[in-house]
């Protein structure tokens, strides 16, 4: 899988939030797969790091969790965005967009 | 906000630990299954699919670990774990645990008791509201010595000061309570009306005193203390408003003081208002006997109050020159109460801290030996990846846990000892009844316990983790060869020896000082002498009309009474000699006067007259107490009121004023000549008696054994009683003096049945009580020092036997090769001797620096007394070397074959 890279620092939480925003309630494995798909298979998540990140978001109140039944008819823990999480997602999205646009100016080929 | 929420969630996470773990395991399992299924759908075999899924998950254990740390508070978890681990270790080695607990309990307990005393006396305020405002207001002489205040002056200070909310005066006198039951002598505090208001202690029932109670005629009201009210009146509330008979006069009970009321150790049973009849000689500048206590106004300080009151004092002196040379001193009542015991208390608190330090050093040594045994375990743990910091924390938690458990035991011990302190007499230690375990004591104990744990745990823990896992494991079975551990042990023991030496020298100095006190020639022979106090009521025995005219006949009745008592007692079988005196030796310089010596020019003021102690005596006082007569004669029954006025003087008086020449025949007076007395304060026909010295008596320590005897003038009661109504009977007996008491009481009853005999004590017990405080200090310090010596010896013994055991193989080889036991002994002892030498040197330096703090407690011995220093050093070195010798000798006794086979 050449060309794949790890998750940049501090972006995993936002990816989780945006995934849940788009997909609705989802279990951990589903979130991980979805992030990989969304990134066009460019990102490779170490699945093990996903769960502490989920726990942190839950402790912060951005998401909640509950047990449900998966598409394969199996008990699985589902994560769902809270209202605070939605707000956080919106705010962090704006911040990232701003950062990205600033960086873009630096990275654009200079016209001297 | 978000952080707080996270913290709360994590704290909650601590509690449902198991559920959290289970759920996460299930979640991970589900994740893996889904992943495996996906992979198999993509065409992998089950094994391939599972392997790929596990790899992507990146290590289940690590994930779990990270998740767990995230979920909860790792620090709190660690602490809980450490405590559990510590408890497990404690259970696993009960012997070790109980030794440590015992040592900590004793060491910390002793500190807790000392601190609870210090806390009560030096830190906690006196038991009155806003006690810091209370000040002792004192008249002092130019050289700073405390004196008393005359009533007219007190009234001036009370009325004219601007710095005090209130100023009260007080003095204490024995009163005779008569009536239905057995007559009883009680101690009464005579106070100005604002006394209780100044202290802000309202009576439990009844009313306070008011200004009206000070009016002569309306003054016969009394407040009872709770204890006295319960004992004598059965806690009867109906006593309020009823009269009781005090000094043959009816006093109305107007109130009862709250339970537990005490006033700076003055043990009184009742309070009466201070009031004087018009023209009473007591209420004049002829009598100084009041003490004063004041409460500062807000904003005022002791210093500003002092300035304020001295302004008044200066005005009084301008009018009454007899006050010249005095001024007012104001200082905190609390400081005044404890000032006598403060240095000793601080010394003892320091000493008990030393004992704890020594105990800590011993425990540290014990742990070091144990650490050596656990070296492999710890090396192994480090080798498989345990964090050194984590292990250090764990070991420290273990020792702190031990110390805290020991501290809890210590509190129990302290609680019991503090109860016992209450039975100490006030003279030994003031306010002992207030000593208790409060928040401050608890906090102090907790702090000391934790510190103790850290102190004795830190070095061993540090040594334990400071291992190269490879080396420690390679050592294999050989446990020897921990040179740095040995050095740490030796340093600790040297420290113990140094601390013990300081304590021992301190205790040695105190003992020597006590011995010096015991060797002081008190000036009398206390053996087989009974003493008792006798007071006659003024009403019945003093003619106050004649007294106001300074006529000695005013006291004819009391003179006859004491004469009769002496006669009655003299005729008792078993009595060798009997006399009476107005103030016994060792009771203090209770009656000071200024002597006029007629063989030299008169000074210009009274205060320039030589100060002397004045004692009136009856019967064969000198013979009864065994005071030698150095020249002339003693008083005889012929020295009556009408006879030629005579006096005896003490040797010190002769030495000071007649340059050791025999003063017999000289003429003196103990009252100032009329030229020096302010006009109007005495009747125009005032003429002090001229006394002819008829003899010289040996010096007697009236104040205390530790002070040089003051010059004394003695006068016969019949001629010079000056209104004294209290005398102390002195009876020299042929057998056990206390066996005479019932018969003695009977004889007194025959003279006057209303006069009780009180304060009955042998002279020997008075002497012993007078040194009770220094003896207590010496005994307590001596106990601490003994404990320190024992602990230090145990420490040396432990280290030496450990070193010997480590070298058993080496010793075996040496002996097998032909080394004699003497050579082995020298080899082993060398270390011990070095340890002791270093410790002694450090201890001597410490002692020189620290015994200075003892200086105020010592009598007749310097703080660096070379004999004590040398003697104690020899004793300590001997004990230390013996403790080192025993294990070394045992090592040499081991047969070489056994020694070689060891391990």
pLDDT of residue B471: 67
The reply to whether B452 falls in a domain is no
The answer on B306 and B222 residing in a single domain is yes
- Residues B486 and A39: their CA atoms lie apart, in Å, by 64
Residue with tokens 């102090």: B444
Question: B70: nearest CA in chain A?
Answer: A52
The reply to whether B748 falls in a domain is yes
Residue with tokens 């209303």: B754
**Low-confidence winner among B3-17, B282-296, B693-707 (lowest mean pLDDT):** B3-17
Residue with tokens 């764990």: B394
Mean pLDDT taken over chain B:
85
Q: A56 — phi, psi (to 5°)?
A: -65, -45
The answer on B775 and B704 residing in a single domain is no
Inform me whether the pLDDT recorded for B709 exceeds 70. yes
The answer on B572 and B512 residing in a single domain is no
The reply to whether B651 falls in a domain is yes
Question: Does residue A20 contact residue A28 with C-beta atoms inside 8 Å?
Answer: no
B332-344 pLDDT, tens digit per residue, is: 998 888 777 788 8
B31–A27 C-beta distance less than 8 A = yes
B26–A47 C-beta distance less than 8 A = no
pLDDT of residue B603: 85
pLDDT of residue A1: 39
Residue B577 pairs in a beta bridge with B732
Inform me whether the pLDDT recorded for B538 exceeds 50. yes
Classify residue B690 as exposed, middle or buried by CB count within 10 Å of its CB (0-12, 13-18, 19+).
Answer: middle
- Residues B473 and B351: their CA atoms lie apart, in Å, by 44
B838-886 pLDDT, tens digit per residue, is: 999 999 999 998 888 888 888 888 888 999 999 999 999 998 888 888 8
Tallying the residues shown for chain A, one arrives at: 112
Inform me whether the pLDDT recorded for B83 exceeds 70. yes
Does residue B86 come out as left (phi exceeding 0), alpha (psi in the -120 to 50 range) or beta?
alpha
- Residues B481 and B703: their CA atoms lie apart, in Å, by 65
A70–B31 C-beta distance less than 8 A = no
Mean pLDDT of all residues in B189-213: 93
Helix (H, G, I), strand (E, B) or coil at B330: strand
The reply to whether B662 falls in a domain is yes
**pLDDT band at B902; cut points 50, 70, 90:** low
pLDDT of residue A6: 64
**pLDDT band at B211; cut points 50, 70, 90:** very high
Domain end marker among B48, B72, B96: B72
**CA proximity to B791, closest of B395, B364, B464:** B364
pLDDT of residue B428: 63
Question: Does residue B53 contact residue B30 with C-beta atoms inside 8 Å?
Answer: no
| Structural domains of chain A ordered from first start | 12-104 (1.10.10.10)
The answer on B237 and B156 residing in a single domain is yes
**CA proximity to A78, closest of A29, A44, A35, A10:** A29
The reply to whether B620 falls in a domain is yes
B354-363 pLDDT, tens digit per residue, is: 999 999 998 8
Inform me whether the pLDDT recorded for B396 exceeds 60. yes
The answer on B747 and B609 residing in a single domain is yes
The reply to whether B495 falls in a domain is yes
**pLDDT band at B365; cut points 50, 70, 90:** confident
The answer on B505 and B612 residing in a single domain is no
What pTM, to 2 d.p., does this model score? 0.70
- Residues B733 and B764: their CA atoms lie apart, in Å, by 13
Task: State the best of A28, A33, A47 to mutate against chain B, taking most chain B CBs within 10 Å.
Answer: A47
B567-612 pLDDT, tens digit per residue, is: 999 999 999 999 999 999 998 777 778 899 999 898 887 778 888 9
- Per-residue buried b or exposed e for A76-109, using 16+ beta carbons within 10 Å of the residue's own CB: bbbbebbeebeebbeebeeeeeeeeeeeeeeeee
- Residues B197 and B221: their CA atoms lie apart, in Å, by 17
B26–A48 C-beta distance less than 8 A = no
A72–B37 C-beta distance less than 8 A = yes
CA dihedral (B777, B779, B782, B788) positive or negative:
negative
In order of A8, B30, B261, the CA distances from B433 in angstroms are: 72, 71, 11
Inform me whether the pLDDT recorded for B536 exceeds 60. yes
**pLDDT band at B498; cut points 50, 70, 90:** very high
The answer on B561 and B484 residing in a single domain is no
Angle at B657 between CA B655 and CA B662, to 5 degrees: 60
Mean pLDDT of all residues in B691-720: 92
Q: Domain range for residue B901?
A: 480-522+768-903
Inform me whether the pLDDT recorded for B313 exceeds 70. yes
Structure token digits, residue B531? 């003493």
Which of A46, A58, A60 minimises the CB distance to B58? A46
Give yes or no for A83 touching B (CB within 8 A): no
Which helix (H) or strand (E) segment holds residue B294: the answer is: strand B291-296
Which of B24, B31, B67 minimises the CB distance to A29? B31
Inform me whether the pLDDT recorded for B6 exceeds 70. yes
Q: How distant is the Cα of A57 from the closest Cα of chain B, in angstroms?
A: 9
Domain end marker among B265, B294, B324: B324
Rg of chain A over all Cα atoms, to the nearest angstrom: 16
Residue with tokens 């009464």: B188
Which of A49, A72, A77 minimises the CB distance to B27? A77
**pLDDT band at B483; cut points 50, 70, 90:** low
Task: State the best of B16, B55, B57, B72 to mutate against chain A, taking most chain A CBs within 10 Å.
Answer: B57
Stronger pLDDT, B171 or B897, i.e. the higher one: B171
Which helix (H) or strand (E) segment holds residue B618: the answer is: strand B611-619
The reply to whether B713 falls in a domain is yes
pLDDT of residue B190: 93
Strand pairing category for B326-332 and B270-273: unpaired
Structure token digits, residue B29? 């399992």
pLDDT of residue B529: 95
User: Max CA-CA distance within chain B?
Assistant: 141
Number of domains in chain B: 4
Residue with tokens 């040995």: B486
Inform me whether the pLDDT recorded for B475 exceeds 60. no
Domain end marker among B754, B784, B810: B754
The reply to whether B127 falls in a domain is no
The answer on B773 and B739 residing in a single domain is no
A52–B34 C-beta distance less than 8 A = no
A28–B57 C-beta distance less than 8 A = no
Q: Which residues of chain A have pLDDT under 70?
A: 1-9, 110-112
Question: A29: nearest CA in chain B?
Answer: B31
The answer on B773 and B748 residing in a single domain is no
Give yes or no for A60 touching B (CB within 8 A): yes
Residue with tokens 């009329």: B674
A60–B66 C-beta distance less than 8 A = no
Question: B26: nearest CA in chain A?
Answer: A76
| Strand boundaries in A5-97, DSSP class E | 26-27, 63-69, 75-81
End-to-end CA distance of chain B: 63
- Residues B114 and B347: their CA atoms lie apart, in Å, by 10
Q: How many CB pairs under 8 A join A and B?
A: 68
**CA proximity to B689, closest of B710, B656, B667:** B667
Prediction ipTM score: 0.85
pLDDT of residue B477: 45
Inform me whether the pLDDT recorded for B479 exceeds 60. no
- Residues B877 and B278: their CA atoms lie apart, in Å, by 73
The answer on B805 and B861 residing in a single domain is yes
**Low-confidence winner among B274-283, B456-465, B472-481, B650-659 (lowest mean pLDDT):** B472-481
The answer on B749 and B657 residing in a single domain is yes
**CA proximity to B103, closest of B420, B361, B331:** B361
pLDDT of residue B458: 87
The answer on B575 and B499 residing in a single domain is no
**CA proximity to B390, closest of B400, B399, B378:** B378
């Amino acid at each position: 899988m050449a060309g794949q890279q790890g998750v940049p620092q501090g972006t995993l939480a936002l990816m989780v939030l945006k995934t849940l925003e788009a997909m609705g309630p989802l279990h951990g494995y589903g979130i991980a797969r979805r992030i990989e798909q969304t990134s066009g298979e460019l990102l490779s998540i170490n699945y093990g790091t996903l769960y502490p990140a989920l726990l942190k978001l839950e402790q912060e109140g951005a998401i909640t969790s509950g047990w449900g039944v998966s598409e394969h008819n199996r008990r699985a823990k589902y994560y769902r965005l809270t209202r605070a999480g939605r707000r956080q997602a919106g705010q962090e999205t704006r911040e990232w967009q701003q950062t990205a646009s600033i960086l873009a100016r630096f990275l654009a080929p200079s016209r001297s | 906000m978000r952080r707080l929420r996270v913290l709360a969630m994590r704290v909650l996470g601590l509690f449902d630990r198991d559920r959290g773990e289970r759920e996460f395991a299930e979640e991970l399992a589900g994740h893996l299954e889904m992943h495996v299924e996906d992979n198999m759908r993509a065409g992998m075999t089950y094994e391939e699919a599972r392997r790929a899924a596990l790899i992507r998950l990146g290590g289940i254990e690590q994930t779990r670990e990270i998740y767990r740390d995230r979920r909860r508070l790792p620090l709190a978890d660690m602490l809980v774990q450490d405590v559990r681990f510590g408890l497990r270790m404690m259970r696993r080695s009960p012997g070790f645990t109980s030794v440590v607990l015992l040592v900590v309990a004793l060491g910390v307990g002793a500190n807790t008791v000392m601190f609870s005393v210090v806390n009560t006396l030096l830190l906690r305020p006196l038991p009155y509201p806003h006690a810091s405002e209370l000040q002792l207001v004192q008249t002092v002489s130019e050289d700073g010595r405390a004196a008393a205040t005359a009533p007219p002056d007190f009234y001036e200070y009370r009325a004219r000061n601007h710095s005090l909310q209130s100023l009260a005066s007080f003095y204490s006198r024995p009163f005779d309570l008569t009536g239905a039951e057995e007559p009883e002598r009680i101690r009464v505090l005579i106070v100005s009306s604002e006394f209780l208001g100044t202290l802000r202690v309202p009576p439990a029932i009844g009313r306070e005193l008011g200004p009206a109670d000070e009016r002569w005629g309306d003054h016969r009201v009394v407040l009872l203390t709770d204890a006295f009210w319960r004992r004598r009146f059965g806690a009867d509330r109906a006593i309020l408003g009823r009269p009781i008979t005090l000094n043959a006069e009816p006093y109305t009970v107007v109130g009862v003081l709250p339970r537990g009321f005490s006033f700076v150790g003055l043990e009184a049973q009742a309070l009466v208002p201070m009031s004087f009849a018009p023209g009473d000689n007591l209420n004049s500048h002829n009598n100084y006997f009041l003490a004063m206590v004041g409460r500062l106004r807000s904003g005022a300080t002791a210093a500003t109050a002092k300035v304020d009151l001295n302004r008044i004092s200066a005005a009084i002196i301008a009018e009454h020159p007899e006050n010249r040379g005095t001024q007012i001193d104001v200082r905190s009542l609390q400081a005044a109460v404890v000032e006598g015991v403060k240095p000793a208390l601080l010394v003892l608190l320091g000493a008990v801290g030393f004992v704890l330090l020594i105990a800590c050093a011993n425990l540290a040594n014990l742990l070091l030996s144990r650490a050596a045994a656990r070296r492999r375990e710890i090396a192994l743990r480090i080798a498989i990846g345990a964090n050194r910091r984590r292990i250090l924390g764990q070991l420290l938690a273990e020792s702190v846990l031990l110390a805290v458990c020991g501290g809890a035991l210590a509190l129990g011990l302290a609680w019991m000892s503090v109860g016992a302190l209450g039975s100490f007499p006030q003279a030994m230690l003031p306010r002992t009844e207030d000593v208790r375990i409060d928040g401050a004591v608890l906090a102090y104990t907790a702090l000391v316990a934790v510190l103790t744990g850290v102190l004795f745990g830190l070095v061993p823990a540090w040594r334990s983790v400071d291992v190269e896992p490879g080396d420690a494991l390679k050592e294999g079975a050989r446990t020897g060869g921990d040179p740095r551990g040995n050095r740490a042990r030796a340093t600790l023991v040297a420290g113990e020896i140094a601390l013990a030496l300081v304590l021992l020298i301190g205790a040695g100095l105190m003992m020597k000082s006590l011995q010096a006190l015991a060797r002081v020639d008190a000036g009398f022979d206390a053996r087989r002498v009974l003493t008792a106090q006798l007071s006659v009521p003024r009403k019945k025995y003093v003619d106050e009309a004649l007294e106001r005219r300074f006529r000695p006949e005013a006291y004819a009745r009391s003179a006859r009474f004491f004469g009769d008592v002496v006669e009655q007692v003299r005729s008792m079988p078993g009595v060798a000699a009997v006399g009476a005196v107005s103030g016994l030796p060792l009771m203090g310089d209770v009656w000071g006067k200024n002597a006029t010596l007629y063989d030299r020019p008169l000074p210009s003021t009274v205060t320039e007259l030589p100060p002397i102690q004045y004692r009136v005596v009856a019967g064969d006082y000198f013979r009864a107490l065994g005071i030698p007569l150095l020249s002339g004669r003693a008083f005889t029954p012929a020295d009556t009121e009408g006879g030629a006025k005579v006096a005896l003087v003490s040797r010190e008086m002769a030495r000071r004023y007649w340059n050791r020449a025999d003063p017999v025949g000289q003429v003196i007076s103990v009252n100032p000549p009329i030229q020096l007395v302010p006009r109007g304060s005495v009747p125009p026909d005032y003429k002090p008696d001229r006394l002819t010295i008829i003899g010289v008596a040996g010096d007697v320590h009236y104040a205390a054994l530790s002070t040089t005897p003051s010059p004394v003038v003695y006068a016969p009661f019949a001629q010079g009683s000056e209104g004294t109504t209290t005398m102390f009977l002195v009876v020299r007996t042929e057998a056990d003096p206390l066996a005479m008491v019932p018969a003695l009481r009977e004889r007194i009853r025959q003279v006057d049945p209303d006069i009780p005999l009180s304060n009955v004590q042998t002279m020997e017990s008075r002497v012993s009580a007078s040194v009770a405080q220094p003896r207590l200090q010496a005994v307590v310090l001596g106990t601490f020092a003994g404990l320190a010596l024992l602990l230090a010896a145990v420490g040396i013994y432990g280290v030496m036997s450990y070193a010997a055991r480590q070298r058993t193989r080496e010793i075996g080889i040496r002996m097998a090769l032909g080394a004699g036991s003497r050579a082995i002994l020298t080899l082993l002892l060398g270390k011990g001797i070095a340890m002791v030498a270093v410790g002694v040197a450090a201890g001597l330096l410490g002692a020189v620096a620290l015994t200075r703090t003892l200086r105020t407690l010592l009598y007749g011995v310097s703080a660096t007394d070379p004999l004590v220093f040398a003697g104690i050093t020899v004793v300590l070195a001997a004990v230390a070397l013996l403790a080192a010798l025993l294990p070394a000798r045992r090592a040499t006794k081991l047969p070489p074959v056994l020694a070689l086979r060891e391990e």
